[in-house]
Amino acid sequence: MTSKFQKLVIVIQSKPIKIIVDADACPVKTEIISIGRQFKIEVVIVASFDHRMAPATEGVTVVQVDRSDQSVDLYIANRVSRGDILVTQDYGLATIGLAKGAITLSNRGQRYKDETIDFLLERRHELAKQRRGGKYARGSGPKAFTEEDRNYFLQSMTKVLTYLQENKSV
């Protein structure tokens, strides 16, 4: 007997792809689950125990890891692979995903690419140095997440999944 949620419409190197979500600060978890169901792709939500997560449902795996620094990133880094889709706002984790052949998106729908990730990492480093030097206030964080950001994410994710479904490859 097979589940109605058959794995998978999309197969890369005979391995079903997954959408893996760095969920600690991800504002589009609900949308990712919805898109995963639409395209019949497993969604793996990873967060620390500090975050309350909804229970797993069909097609969705919820993983909660230790509270220690980088636990979520390490869990994901050890499991993401070629063809998976990684959603994160962490440039370091995005770099690891790219190196492993994953398609990486920010929670605002920006696609991280090999050609631009070094610039993003360098910019993050420079801003951290300036904050330590007192040039910028700590804690200002990223700009507020908007409906426009949410819509752009949905468009980007749908575009990636449609492309993969039609081409069966990254």
Question: What's the pLDDT tens digit per position in 99-128?
Answer: 999 999 999 999 988 777 665 656 765 666
The residue range of the domain holding 89 is: 15-140+147-165
Does any domain span residue 1? no
| CATH code of the domain in which 115 resides | 3.40.50
- Report d(CA 143, CA 24) in Å as an integer: 17
Domain count, the chain: 1
Higher per-residue pLDDT: 24 or 155:
155
The pTM assigned to this predicted structure is 0.79
Q: Decide if 124 is inside a domain.
A: yes
Q: Is the pLDDT at 66 greater than 50, yes or no?
A: yes
- Gyration radius (Cα) of the chain, Å: 16
Question: Which band of pLDDT confidence, cut at 50, 70 and 90, is reported for residue 7?
Answer: very low
